[in-house]
Amino acid sequence: MTQESFDFPVWQSIGDAISGLQVETETVIVKRADIRSFVAHAIAHDRVELVFQPISAAQHGRPVCFYEGLMRIRGADGALISPGLYLPEVEGTELAAALDVAALRQALFALRQNPWLRLSVNIAPQTMGHPDWLETLRRAADQAPDIAYRLIVEITESASLLDLSCARSFFATLRDLGCSVALDDFGAGTTSFRYFREYRFDIVKIDGHFCAGLATNADSRVLVKSLVDIAQHFEMLIVAEFIETEADAAAATALGVDCLQGYLIGRPDKALFDPWALRDTA
């Protein structure tokens, strides 16, 4: 692996979209610059999409509380490509912000189409306060203020949150518009408890790596319990990520988690299901 290029398994969608690839038997060597032009092409041609994963209440029959919109790029062969494959190559560049704007547009569209929907979107820390991102949200909120009320903005812990004036004014703008703010992947990053006192997030999502296998891992239970205690003190709604089994769901619920997300509750999907409509027909 060099600075210039890296290897990954043959991947038709990118292979189709980018010309000049060196194809070996099982590996495509793609230059960073090629990935960047692939992403730029996807943005320019409306190929940034969302899939939706439900987050349910931990108790009382586990009704869906909201959905998370997860970014994908529609490849030339129609396959949906996960951000893990291209996000690291655009991190910190204008392209990352442009991807966040494209994902936000999709989220706003889904909120307009589905008046019952509450939806979260992810934003890279460096996109906080980006004029295009804020302008996109403001325009939608001007036309239909309820859309902003139904939007949750997820942000991961990172050094950017330590830029107090930038983060403070960004969160204040979001709150003025009526959006909720979630701290994503809590416990995984550069956790600073200072964030809690400073920002008073509405929701905190406990990193999936602490929650997967919770039922059988006493160490994880101690860590999740302490994260839950902190979040409860600050009156934040607590979501456990990566819940894949009934045993882990029960363990998370017993520790005081409010909501569950993971393959047990539902996999990310193009389709959205109105939980209220389901209830009416039940």
By beta-carbon proximity to Mn ion, the closer residue of 71 and 255 is 71
Which residues are within 8 A (CB) of 119 and not within 5 positions of it... i.e. 6 or more apart? Answer: 52, 66, 67, 68, 69, 107, 110, 111, 150, 151, 152
Near ligand G by CB under 6 A: residue from 242, 248, 252, 258: 242
**How many angstroms separate the CA atoms of 246 and 181, rounded?**
28
Picked from Mn ion, ligand G, none, the partner binding residue 185 (CB below 5 to 8 A depending on kind) is: ligand G
Total binding residues toward ligand G, as defined by CB under 6 A = 13
Q: With residue 88 as reference, give the H or E element that holds it.
A: helix 87-90
Unique residue bearing structure tokens 């951000």? 83
Q: Does 157 bind ligand G (CB under 6 A)?
A: no
Residue 213: half-sphere exposure toward Cβ, Cα within 13 Å: 6
Near Mn ion by CB under 5 A: residue from 154, 202, 248, 258: 154
Site for ligand G in 63-92 (CB under 6 A): 70, 82
Angle, CA 75 vertex, CA 152 and CA 115 arms, to 5°: 30
Q: Does 125 bind ligand G (CB under 6 A)?
A: no
Near ligand G by CB under 6 A: residue from 49, 89, 241, 248: 241
x-marked contacts with ligand G along 204-233 as a string, rule CB under 6 A: ----x-------------------------
Picked from Mn ion, ligand G, none, the partner binding residue 69 (CB below 5 to 8 A depending on kind) is: none
Which residues are within 8 A (CB) of 56 and not within 5 positions of it... i.e. 6 or more apart? Answer: 62, 63, 64, 65, 259, 260, 261, 265, 266
| Angle between helices 131-143 and 164-177 in degrees, nearest 10 | 10
Q: Does 184 bind Mn ion (CB under 5 A)?
A: yes
Catalog residues that contact ligand G under the rule CB under 6 A.
Answer: 53, 70, 82, 122, 184-185, 208, 241-242, 244, 262-263, 268
Binding site for Mn ion (CB under 5 A): 122, 154, 184
